[in-house]
Structure 1
C-alpha cells in the first residue's frame, strides 16, 4: 500500500513538472513572436 502512494506522488510530481516546463516553453515562444512582431521595421 505504501509503494502505491509513493508511486502516485511521483507521477503527480512528474506531471506538475512537465506542465510547468511546457508552460515556460510556450511563454518563451510567445515572447519571441511578441518581440518579433514589435521589432522596428
Structure 2
C-alpha cells in the first residue's frame, strides 16, 4: 500500500511543513502587530492624559 492509498498524511510530507510554516509566520506577524498597536495606544494615551 502506498502513502497516498493510506488516507492519512505523512507528518514528514512537505505540504504539512509548508502549511505549518505559513501558519507560524501568520501568527508571529499578527501577534507582533497586535503588540505594536498596544504599545502605540499606550503612547497615544500617555500623550493625551491630563497631567
- Is the structural similarity TM-score above 0.5? yes
Runs of 4 or more above 4 Å deviation: none
Query: Which residues of structure 2 form unaligned runs of 5+?
Result: 1-9
Q: What is the TM-score of this pair, normalised by structure 2?
A: 0.75
Q: What is the TM-score of this pair, normalised by structure 1?
A: 0.92
Higher RCO, Cα 8 Å, sep 6+: 2
Q: Comparing both structures, which one devotes a greater share of its residues to helix?
A: 1
- Please provide the CA RMSD for this pair: 1.0
